[in-house]
């Protein structure tokens, strides 16, 4: 194929077109969100284990030539990776790249939004679980709400739009704020997605004792929807973004923005799963919740050519399970900061 040419998206064994690659560029993070990481952090990869810029770019180029359309950078915190602007520029130059986005906690966006936009990033999703400064500190353990809000403004000014806000809802932690956050969609440029928390043991580290949010923290999307409708009126279903994704989208009457619901616990969305994940150390994950992983870094460093790398992508697609179920009390062991959400 010529540079920049690409195949039609590959379909996996269950006829799902696979065209979305989430790329974790680091396992490091400047926050310690309670549902994601233990307070002391998680054991970190060594410098040599992490894919270098050119290795990430090579893998992404192969993915695009195979028909991947959406490339999203995540982490850990992607803005905590050294040289992130240069990495974005390198990825944006790949022929055929037309949807390069990032999921970030927003803390460093004030300084990075403009350079990232200049480098070719298209849009950002920002994780934000509360509009209350004290509570923000309680949930993230380290961050300041004002930094995220300033980061959001900077992203808007830089044209990194539409910005979607990802709000993980946890009973007893921020479920009393669902209505206030939903109300934000009445204002321009506020698109919010409420995500059911996944109970991950990895977030506890060595902590022991009561874990109320793990044992009983899930607020089903249906309950979130009912709460919003009771206070703010009916939600009308609207079309989601092109390329699909796990969210179902709605709008309040007269709202400027959309309200999405993502329900990893109470509803299957595996039937429409269109993604693979690349970890910071170069493993391709067929599914967020299975242990299967295909090493790309080893073959890459041993001199694999593009066709061999494509074969490994195809293997990951073949290994995508039909579905995987997390239950409220599954308390799975994987670490979200390692997988990238």
Q: Is 29 in the site for ligand SF4 (CB under 6 A)?
A: yes
CB nearer to ligand SF4: give 66 or 219: 219
Q: Is 25 in the site for ligand SF4 (CB under 6 A)?
A: no
Longest Cα–Cα distance in the chain: 59
Residues numbered 307 to 336 that lie near ligand SF4 (CB under 6 A) are 336
Q: Is 112 in the site for ligand SAM (CB under 6 A)?
A: no
242 Cβ contact list (under 8 Å, min separation 6): none
In angstroms, what CA-CA distances link 41 with 30, 35, 37, 53, 202? Answer: 10, 12, 6, 24, 10
- Decide: 239 and 248 in contact? Cβ < 8 Å: no
Number of Cβ within 10 Å of residue 179's Cβ equals 15
First to last CA, the chain: 33
Quote the Cα angle for 39-178-268, to 5°: 80
Binding ligand SAM by CB under 6 A: which of 168, 182, 219, 261?
Answer: 168
Minimum distance between the CB of residue 279 and ligand SAM, rounded to whole angstroms?
Answer: 12
CB nearer to ligand SF4: give 105 or 174: 105
CB nearer to ligand SAM: give 35 or 190: 35
**Gap between the Cα atoms of 287 and 14, Å rounded:** 14
Q: Is 337 in the site for ligand SF4 (CB under 6 A)?
A: yes
User: Which window, 28-36, 154-162, 190-198, 312-320, contacts ligand SF4 (CB under 6 A)?
Assistant: 28-36
User: Which residue is closest to ligand SAM by CB?
Assistant: 341
Partner whose footprint covers residue 32, from ligand SAM, ligand SF4, none (CB < 5 to 8 Å by kind)? ligand SF4
Minimum distance between the CB of residue 229 and ligand SAM, rounded to whole angstroms?
Answer: 23
């Amino acid at each position: 194929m010529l540079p920049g040419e690409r195949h039609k998206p590959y379909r996996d064994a269950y006829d799902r077109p696979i065209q979305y690659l989430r790329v974790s560029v680091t396992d490091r993070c400047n926050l310690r969100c309670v549902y994601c990481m233990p307070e002391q952090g998680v054991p970190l990869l060594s410098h040599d284990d992490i894919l270098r810029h050119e290795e990430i770019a090579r893998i992404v180029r192969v993915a695009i030539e195979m028909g991947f359309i959406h490339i999203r950078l995540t982490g850990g915190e992607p803005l905590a990776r050294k040289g992130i602007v240069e990495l974005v520029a390198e990825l944006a130059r790949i022929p055929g790249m037309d949807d390069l986005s990032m999921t970030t906690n927003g803390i460093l966006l004030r300084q990075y939004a403009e350079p990232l936009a200049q480098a070719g990033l298209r849009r950002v999703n920002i994780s934000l679980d509360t509009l209350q400064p004290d509570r923000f500190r309680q949930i993230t353990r380290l961050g300041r709400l004002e930094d995220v809000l300033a980061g959001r403004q900077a992203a808007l000014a830089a044209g990194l739009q539409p910005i979607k806000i990802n709000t993980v809802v946890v009973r007893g932690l921020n479920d009393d704020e669902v209505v206030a956050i939903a109300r934000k969609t009445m204002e321009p440029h506020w698109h919010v997605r409420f995500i059911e928390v996944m109970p991950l043991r990895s977030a506890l580290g060595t902590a022991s004792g009561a874990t109320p949010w793990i044992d009983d923290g899930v607020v089903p999307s249906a309950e979130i929807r009912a709460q919003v409708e009771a206070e703010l009126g009916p939600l009308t279903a609207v079309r989601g973004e092109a390329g699909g994704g796990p969210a179902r989208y709605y709008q309040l009457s007269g709202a400027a923005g959309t309200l999405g619901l993502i329900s990893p616990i109470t509803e299957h969305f595996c039937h429409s799963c269109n993604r693979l994940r690349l970890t910071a150390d170069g493993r391709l994950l067929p599914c967020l919740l299975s242990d299967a992983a295909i090493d790309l870094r080893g073959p890459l460093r041993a001199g694999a050519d593009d066709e061999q790398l494509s074969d490994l992508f195809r293997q990951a697609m073949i290994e995508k399970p039909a579905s995987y179920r997390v239950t409220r009390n599954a308390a799975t062991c994987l670490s979200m900061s390692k997988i990238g959400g």
